[in-house]
Amino acid sequence: MSKPSVLFVCVHNAGRSQMAAGWLRHLAGDTVEVRSAGSAPGKTINPAAVEAMAEVGIDITDQTPKKLEWETAESSDVIITMGCGDACPIFPGKRYEDWKLEDPAGKGVESVRPIRDEIKTRIEKLLTELVPAA
């Protein structure tokens, strides 16, 4: 059986979706294919998101914001949007979740930590649904 693929989408692909992708890669290892994208990607990843993830031992410095492409969404099993509302297109026939998360843009690392921790909790729940215990 092929491994499930998850696509995280936010507007800029610079904060929430990058932290979520970092957590899923860290917690799932190679059992899940992880992707992230933005409907209007930024130029760089939010430095506070990078710092908050580094505090828990996850390095996302090598990631760059990517534009959401039809093919990427089409080939993903689960699409998780994060606060982009109508800016995120809908792809029929996909499992969708919309995670209402505060946007970390322009915030310091103190404000990003609770968002990071909330994302971890949601990723852990998602993993139990995607990858049944061996």
**Catalytic residue list:** 10, 84, 88
* H-assigned helices in the chain: 16-28, 47-54, 70-74, 109-130
Helix-, strand-, coil-residue percentages of the chain, each rounded to 5? 40, 15, 45
Q: Which of 69, 67, 87 is nearest to 13 (CA)?
A: 67
d(C-alpha 81, C-alpha 11), whole Å: 9
Task: Count other Cβ atoms within 10 Å, centred on residue 117.
Answer: 14
The residues, ordered by sequence, that sit 6+ positions from 41 with a Cβ below 8 Å of its Cβ are 12, 13, 14, 65, 66, 67, 68
